[in-house]
Amino acid sequence: MTKERKKYLLIAAGLAVLGGAIFAAQVQKLGSTQGAVKKSAGAAATPAKTSTRPASESHVPASSGPSDEALRQRVVKYVRERFGMPPSVTITADPFKPSIHPGFDETTIYTENGTNKSSNSAFVTKDQKWLVLGKLVPVQSDPKAELIASLRQQFKLPATTSVTATDFRPSPYPNLLATTVSVTDGNKPPETQELFLTSDRRVLVVGGIFSLSEDRRKTALRSISTVNQPRLGPATAPVTIVEFSDLQCPTCARMHDFIENNVMKKYPGKVQVIFKEFPLANIHDWTLTASIANQCVYQINPSAYVPFRSLIYKNQVGTTAGNVRELMFTYGEQLGIDRLRLAGCVDSKASLPRVEANFIEGKNIGVQSTPTTFINGKMVIGVPNIDEFHKDIDDALRARR
């Protein structure tokens, strides 16, 4: 990997952290010790900040704040569901205390799995409706300039990297203004992230904002389209697993094999799997072409979609941006797909709207890294612990009886 590409991946990962993806990274790091299918970090994963507290040290803040065991449990439950953290990961939170930033109370959230420990700052608005994962930065005089300077310092961005922010505008969140930050490195597509400023222009919110009143499972079930989508298993199955994956992601290849050769065999007739394209084109150079080809195959012959996808995953190592197009046509021919028809679809990008719809759908329900699956609405990030994944399916089956 070139130095330029490493630098770009750092920028991409850094902006992902701002949206809360650091918790997704923690899940994959913490879960790696629990007998997962195979140990590996997923695509777009970013390292979590490791706590330096001794394990025996009590998590007690300097001052007490709003009650609240109930609020802490609510936040812990939300974080577990929102970022797909398995039961093997212990999540705790300090008692809340008033923040130095007006309008917020603050805590520290701890995640632990054996010897792997991490800690992250979190804030809740005074009305206890909104959770902020990230940083709050006091504003001196110029919010936009100070935000850009803060990002450059936090992620050590070189002068050659362009960082811009739009003018602040009204946001969907009460008492917050929004800006869109763009980071561009050379000829690479820009990385963008929405960040926020309190309406009194005193505090920058450099992080993700999440609704504590939201039911994550209901939101996922309501938002995911299951009509005219590639699938394995009967549409009448009581459990629906929706998988968002990147065809160039090695961890996704292992997840695909796990679904095909473990889940579908263990739960015949009880599970259907719906596949969604989530190409991380900013860090993978041939994934978008493969995603377009996979969706073209679905449009030409739906029954060939999964075998075609399996061929892509099985041959990841030998695939490059230079040969991916020809390989897609070769795989298609092996499955009886007319080469000229597939070439016409791929070259015209006729299936791109389907790929983009999958990607937008994933983003809207909180997908930050691949693979991410939903089991009847419950999010699971990364390659799962086999027993925990089976338990999630068993729980979903019991809930449907």
Which residues lie closer than 8 Å to 355 by C-beta, 6 or more apart? 277, 279, 288, 291, 292, 295
Digits of tens for pLDDT over the chain (401 positions)?
Answer: 444 444 434 444 444 444 444 444 444 454 444 444 443 334 443 333 333 333 333 343 444 444 678 999 999 988 888 887 778 889 999 999 999 988 899 999 998 887 788 888 899 999 999 999 888 999 999 999 999 998 888 888 888 889 999 999 999 888 899 999 998 877 777 888 889 999 999 999 988 888 888 777 777 777 888 889 999 999 999 999 999 999 999 999 999 999 999 999 999 999 999 999 999 998 899 999 999 999 999 999 999 999 999 999 999 999 999 999 999 999 999 999 999 999 999 999 999 999 999 999 998 888 888 999 999 988 898 887 899 999 999 999 999 87
**What are φ and ψ of residue 180, in 5° steps?**
-105, 120
For the CA atoms of 58, 64, 65, 71, the dihedral, rounded to the nearest 10 degrees, stands at: 30
Quote the tokens at residue 135: 């940083």
Cis peptide bond prior to 371, omega within 30° of 0 = yes
CB–CB of 48/128 below 8 Å?
Answer: no
Exposed e or buried b for every residue in 18-45, given b needs 16+ CB within 10 A?
bbbbbbbbbbbbbbbebebbeebbbbbb
The verdict on 189 and 289 lying in the same domain is: no
Question: Are 57 and 206 members of one domain?
Answer: yes
**Which token pair is 370?**
């691949």
The β-bridge partners of 6 are none
User: Which backbone phi and psi does 273 adopt, to 5 degrees?
Assistant: -115, 125
How much is the pLDDT for 312?
Answer: 98
Query: Of 157, 182, 211, which residue sits at a domain end?
Result: 211
Tokens of 241: 């697993």
Q: 194 and 73: one domain?
A: yes
164 with 261, same domain?
no
> Residue 75, SS3?
helix
- Say whether both 287 and 196 belong to one domain: no
Q: C-alpha 64: how far from its chain's center?
A: 33
Dihedral sign from CA coordinates of 94, 214, 193, 105:
negative
Same domain as 108, residue 142:
yes
Same domain, yes or no, for 299 and 194? no
Last residue of a domain, one of 211, 240, 265: 211
Q: Give kind and range of the element (H or E) at residue 169.
A: strand 169-170
Does 237 share its domain with 183? no
- Domain count within the chain: 2
What DSSP letter does each residue of 23-39 carry, written as one string? HHHHHHHHHTTS-BSS-
Q: What angle do CA 269, 233, 293 make, to 5 degrees?
A: 170
Give how far the C-alpha of residue 152 lies from the chain's centroid of Cα atoms, to the nearest Å.
23
Q: Are residues 289 and 383 in the same domain?
A: yes
- Chain position carrying tokens 């449990």: 73
Instruction: Calculate the alpha carbon distances from 153 to 183, 275, 317 in Å.
Output: 13, 39, 36
Question: Can you read off the two tokens belonging to residue 273?
Answer: 């799997």
- If asked whether residues 201 and 92 sit together in one domain, one would say yes
| Cβ atoms of residues 110 and 51 within 8 Å | yes
Q: Are residues 95 and 235 in the same domain?
A: no
Is 122 exposed, middle or buried (CB count within 10 Å of its CB: 0-12, 13-18, 19+)? buried
Give every CB contact of residue 192 below 8 A, 6+ residues apart in sequence: 15, 180, 181, 182, 183
Specify the length of the chain in residues: 401
Least Cα distance to 176 among 209, 144, 151, 150 occurs for: 209
Beta carbons of 239 and 396 less than 8 angstroms apart: yes
Per-residue model confidence (pLDDT) at position 134:
85
- Domain CATH for 349: 3.40.30.10
Report d(CA 2, CA 316) in Å as an integer: 20
* Claim to verify: residue 241 and residue 163 sit in the same structural domain: no
CB-CB contact of 210 with 130 (8 Å): yes
Last residue of one domain, picked from the residues 192, 211, 230 = 211
Q: Which domain holds residue 30?
A: 3-211
Does residue 358 sit in helix, strand or coil? helix
Q: How many Cα atoms occupy the beta-carbon half-sphere of 349 within 13 Å?
A: 6
Nearest to 65 by CA among 138, 122, 7, 133: 122
Give the torsion through C-alpha atoms of 310, 264, 399, 235, to 10 deg. 70
